[in-house]
Amino acid sequence: MHTRPLALTLDLDDTLWPIWPVIERAEQALHEWLCRHHPETGQRWPIAAMRELRARVLAERPDLAHDPSALRRCALEIVFAEHGGESAVEAAYAVFFEARNRVDLYPDVPEALDRLSRAWPLAALTNGNADITRIGLHTHFVFSLSARDHGAAKPSPCIFHAACTRLGVMPEQVLHVGDDPDTDVCGALAAGLATAWINRDGKPWPYPDTPPTLECRSLAELADRLLPSVPALRTHA
């Protein structure tokens, strides 16, 4: 970057941790809970059937596309309505949500987040429903803004602008960091932010006419490039 940003916004899923192992474990935890507490429902709704149901709910309720929690609750309402267990919806969702927030950070993330958060105010900006307080990352961020809370998802410019407003800076003074070329990079660029594409798999950039401001293979590489003179804090036994 030619100028130093005044703040950073960071995507969460697949930027700070891989999301699919998390979702698979959470869906498995929910299924096991159903089989223990509502065996008929668990038998009727294995994981694959629950995924199909959620996709059907999304097709019927595109207004909930920005709210993954509402989508899952709607699916659970359908499941339990069939078997007379409507009161179990919140209990079932709580099982899923607790497991959904047990994440395995990419190895480079803890030190890189520490370095970045010592240099800039960081805001989490996510289309998902991860809870940075439950995960234990809240001390690195001044706030977390989700598509559910805002009412619109990335790549809509309004969610980026809302984050900039809360940070008290102009969009051109913010660097958005994320893994997704469309929702993160193109969305942030269209909103006037600089962008850092975290490309852990070394994929080719799909839009040659609109490249990211920076491309890095990890959050640690981004910290090294932005803060070459600020070493990571290391503890010694």
Q: Which CATH class is domain 20-100?
A: mainly alpha
Greater confidence, 82 or 237? 82
Whether 72 and 95 have beta carbons less than 8 Å apart is answered as no
In this structure, are strands 174-178 and 143-146 parallel, antiparallel, or unpaired? unpaired
* DSSP at 204: P
Say what the pTM is.
0.90
Tokens of 110: 């803890």
Looking at domain 7-17+105-226, which CATH architecture does it have? 3-Layer(aba) Sandwich (3.40)
**Separation CA 229–CA 145 (nearest Å):** 30
Neighbours of 46 (CB within 10 A): 13
**Separation CA 12–CA 177 (nearest Å):** 9
**Separation CA 140–CA 134 (nearest Å):** 13
Helix or strand run (H / E) with residue 41: helix 39-44
Predicted confidence (pLDDT) per residue in 112-156, tens digit: 999 999 999 999 999 999 999 999 999 999 999 999 999 999 999
Reduced to 3 states, what is the DSSP secondary structure of residue 114?
helix
Predicted confidence (pLDDT) per residue in 37-75, tens digit: 999 899 999 999 999 999 999 999 999 999 999 999 999
Each domain of the chain, given as residue ranges in start order, spans 7-17+105-226, 20-100
